[in-house]
């Protein structure tokens, strides 16, 4: 069966079939996948039973992997573990545990790693164990949000810089870092308007980590960021994925945002493994706001 790309919405997201991403890909196969990624921002690969090793190999085709931060149970690896299961025992973590409280912020719209000095290119999330109900992931297009703006508004946004801060965003759900932890997570600044270097299409780097527009009053800053988020998350610009074991999704953190949805963490087991791809050296050079 040839590699096939089937759009799932009129705006973004496509399902990719006819390829086994758990095996080494030819240059032609990956070139088709990368072109689809640039075109649709979100790619869904059904029925791909990933191991840690095969996920790393596939993810590295997009670029170098980010190490996982200290707050995640999988720290010291390239995996950001999204799970209610204790990494050592495999048993469910109590709902009031600090680790579960940390994950509550994942239910707010965000793009991965925008709070870091160099924001990420994309993420790869594989479903290892899924609950019988709940636990879907919703995604939204910041490219569509940009496209919805008037030409005057686009010109106004072109040179704006946004400060992104995970201490701020986690605080919105009541999660508190220790002073020592917060000191290791300083805010970072990025250009608001992003350009896909392969297609020339523009998008917005927004989401819950986006704290404020540099140089703007707080109220004006929040009004703009909230408006852009509302544009991105209009129903026609969103997609909801109900996970099945073996599903893999690749999303563009420069052109899309996402959020987790609730599930019964005391009744069901859930294990999702995420790898996050950093910018290449060429891309880093383009981050002139950092």
Give the pLDDT score at 42: 98
pLDDT tens for 73-109 read: 666 788 998 999 998 999 999 988 988 988 899 999 9
pLDDT at 115 over 50: yes
Pairing outcome for strands 188-191 and 161-164? antiparallel
Determine phi and psi for 240, rounding to 5 degrees.
-110, 125
Residue 105: DSSP 8-state = G
Q: Options 3.40.50.11030, 3.40.47.10, 1.10.3720.10, 3.60.130.10; which CATH number does 4-279 get?
A: 3.60.130.10
Give the pLDDT score at 75: 67
Distance between CA 270 and CA 290 in Å, rounded? 36
Give the pLDDT score at 288: 43
> What integer is the mean pLDDT of 194-222?
97
pLDDT tens for 253-271 read: 999 999 999 999 999 999 9
Distance between CA 137 and CA 127 in Å, rounded? 11
Per-residue pLDDT band at 198 (split at 50, 70, 90): very high
Cβ atoms of 88 and 81 closer than 8 Å: no
Give the pLDDT score at 73: 64
Cβ atoms of 251 and 139 closer than 8 Å: yes
Give the pLDDT score at 68: 75
Give the pLDDT score at 72: 67
Give the pLDDT score at 285: 46
Q: Which helix (H) or strand (E) holds 126?
A: strand 122-129
Could you count the other beta carbons within 10 Å of the beta carbon of residue 153?
14
Cβ atoms of 272 and 83 closer than 8 Å: yes
First to last CA, the chain: 44
Distance between CA 275 and CA 290 in Å, rounded? 23
> What integer is the mean pLDDT of 145-168?
98
191 beta partners: 161
pLDDT tens for 5-24 read: 999 999 999 999 999 999 99
Could you count the other beta carbons within 10 Å of the beta carbon of residue 92?
18
Q: Please state the pTM of the whole predicted model.
A: 0.94
Domain extent listing, the chain: 4-279
């Amino acid at each position: 069966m040839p590699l096939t790309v089937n759009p799932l919405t009129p705006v973004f997201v496509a399902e990719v079939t006819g390829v086994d991403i758990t095996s080494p890909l030819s240059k032609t196969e990956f070139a088709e996948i990368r072109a689809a990624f640039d075109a649709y921002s979100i790619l869904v690969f059904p029925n791909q039973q990933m191991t840690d090793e095969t996920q790393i190999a596939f993810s590295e085709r997009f670029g170098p992997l980010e190490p996982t931060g200290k707050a995640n149970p999988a720290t010291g690896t390239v995996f950001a573990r999204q799970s209610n299961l204790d990494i050592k025992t495999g048993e469910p973590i109590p709902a009031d545990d600090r680790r579960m409280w940390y994950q509550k912020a994942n239910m707010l719209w965000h793009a991965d790693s925008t709070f870091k000095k160099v924001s990420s290119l994309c993420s790869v999330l594989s479903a290892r164990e899924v609950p019988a109900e709940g636990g879907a992931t919703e995604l939204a297009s910041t490219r569509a949000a940009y496209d919805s703006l008037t030409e005057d508004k686009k010109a106004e946004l072109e040179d704006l810089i946004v400060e992104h801060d995970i201490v701020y965003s986690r605080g919105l759900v009541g999660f508190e870092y220790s002073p020592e932890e917060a000191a290791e997570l300083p805010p970072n600044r990025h250009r608001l308007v992003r350009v896909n270097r392969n297609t020339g299409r523009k998008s917005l780097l927004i989401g819950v980590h986006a704290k404020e527009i540099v140089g703007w009053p707080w109220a004006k800053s929040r009004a703009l960021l909230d408006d852009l988020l509302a544009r991105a998350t209009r129903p026609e610009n969103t997609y909801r994925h109900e996970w099945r074991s073996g599903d893999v999704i690749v999303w563009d953190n420069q052109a899309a945002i996402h959020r987790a949805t609730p599930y019964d963490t005391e009744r069901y087991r859930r294990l999702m493994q995420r790898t996050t791809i950093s910018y290449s050296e060429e891309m880093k050079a383009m981050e002139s706001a950092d």
